[in-house]
Amino acid sequence: MKSMILILTLILFLGQNAFSQTVEKNVDFTISPAIVSSGKIHMALEWLTPNDFSLTQMGMIDQAKLQNLYPENNQIIASKIAFIARKSFAELSHAKMNEASYIAHMLNSVSISPKSQDLWKVTNKVKAYGLPFKVSFDFRFKEVSSATLGQAIAQYFRDESSGISGTGKERFLLLDMTNFSKLMYRNYSIVYVKEISPTETLVISGLIAAFDIKTANSLFQFPPLSTTYDTMMGNLRTQILHMTQSIR
């Protein structure tokens, strides 16, 4: 009996520790070396108008210009997240990750098929009113140089990681979701990967999700049963944490 209690306690501890987070109120928070070095996820998820997003420091990473889409209906959710993956720098590369099985696991997809090089057709399940429904989209995944990304954006991520020493190895990955079957305009991420040691890698991601707020309100704004804010923020948070755990 004691051994069973010990096992259950250990499972509970590991489950909580796997998703242990320090959550900030806005995306312009300063990444804490102490927090990420302790094994926690340091993150923020922020609900913003396009204009408010453009005024954030993180607004500079919006290469896809999501803040300019459909100005009358556009709502943005921005996220910044930092954590240390217990994986080698080589494991977190485009060559290793750009495979159907890896992407399906990372995105928690119900189906995935290739469309062309670096481009996939993906279907995911999300929730509203506690019930699942399916959303399909195109997912482009590629690695880019700092020159292609732009020196200002590259420096933004280097500055964000400056409190954590590394070996000098780094890479930039782009995750771009478009052509959604429902609601979303686009979901765009830049992921910065920095080697800390042969078995540890720092990951910092800036994510911008843009969607049709009028359509979202018609689907989800039925308080107290459901609100657009809770539904959209909850689904994106779940997606981000799942992706984080799959990478860690």
Per-residue pLDDT tens over the stretch 50-77: 999 999 999 999 988 888 888 788 999 9
pLDDT in the model for residue 185: 94
CB 85 within 8 Å of CB 92: yes
Q: Is residue 18 scored above 70 in pLDDT? A: no
**How long is the chain?**
248
pLDDT at residue number 64: 85
Average pLDDT over residues 95-104: 94
Residue 129 has pLDDT above 70, yes or no: no
In sequence order, the β-bridge partners of residue 228 are: none
Give all domains of the chain, ordered by start, each with its CATH number.
21-247 (3.30.530.20)
Regarding predicted confidence, which is higher, 69 or 202?
202
Residue 111: strand pairing partners: 123
**DSSP class of residue 89?**
T
Taking residues 195-209, report their average pLDDT.
97
Block residue for tokens 């910044």: 80
pLDDT at 38 over 70: yes
For residues 200 and 84, give the distance between their C-alpha atoms in angstroms, rounded to a whole number. 7
In this prediction, residue 71 carries a pLDDT of: 73
- List beta partners, residue 45: 79
The Cα angle at residue 78 between residues 74 and 82, in degrees rounded to 5 = 165
